[in-house]
Amino acid sequence: MKRTWIVCGLILIMGTAIVFGIYLANRDAIERKRIDMQTQAKFENRLERENREENLLETASTEEKISPNAMLQKRVYYMMCDHLVQEEEKVTLGEVNCTREEFEKKYTGWKIEVFSPERVELYQEVAKTCPQHFRLREAEGVIVIDQANEKGVYKEIEQTEINTKYLSEEDQEKLAKGILIVGENKLNSTLEDYE
């Protein structure tokens, strides 16, 4: 009987030790889980706070920027010939997301007349002759095309294959004096008339 009491006591002590060990292990796991949850909550709070600050900065920013599909119009007034030449093109990749201030730095000497995400219009006045002035003349039996430089001086840019000996006397006389033409479209249509 004494033995039975000893065995029961040992089983009781072992059982208590096992239960106490399980309790301590669970308590450590629960504590670790609680610490992990606190750390996770702090991290989420910090992320939320950073996102709120970032959204506030984006909302506060009212500067317009150039979109990738924006068009750029350049208008140049040439004072020597009193012509306004206009060109329109898509903005370059380097101009996308530029602000008005950045655009002004890039295009010094130009006046920005319109600035929006979809369109930029620039204007400039220059004391030059525009590149739209041409002269047709005869040289070595063919029609030659001269173009005026910015100072208004004509220089040969192309020798056509149009032979002048087959043209009327009137046209030959005009070409001998030189025919002044303004605009590439007018130049092309005049050349077609002589072909």
Domain harbouring 83, CATH code: 3.10.20.420
CATH of the domain at 169: 3.30.70
Same-domain pairing of 21 and 56: yes
Q: What is the tally of structural domains in the chain?
A: 3
Q: Which domain holds residue 167?
A: 133-194
Same-domain pairing of 55 and 99: no
Residue-level pLDDT at 60:
44
How crowded is the C-beta side of 77, counted as CA atoms within 13 Å?
9
Counting DSSP H helices and E strands in the chain, the numbers are 4, 8
Q: Are 126 and 76 in contact (CB under 8 A)?
A: yes
Same-domain pairing of 86 and 55: no
| 108 CA to centre of own chain | 18
Confidence of residue 90 (pLDDT cuts 50, 70, 90): very high
pLDDT beyond 60 at 21: yes
Same-domain pairing of 184 and 137: yes
Residue-level pLDDT at 56:
52
pTM metric for this prediction: 0.57
Residue 101's identity, in one-letter code, is E
Q: Which of 31, 62, 93 is the last residue of a domain?
A: 62
Tell me the per-residue pLDDT of 164-179, one tens digit each, with 9 for 90 and over: 888 888 988 888 899 9
Same-domain pairing of 56 and 5: yes
Tell me the per-residue pLDDT of 96-125, one tens digit each, with 9 for 90 and over: 888 889 888 998 989 989 988 999 999 999
CA distance linking residue 60 with residue 69, whole number of Å:
24
Same-domain pairing of 5 and 35: yes
| 36 CA to centre of own chain | 46
Confidence of residue 85 (pLDDT cuts 50, 70, 90): confident
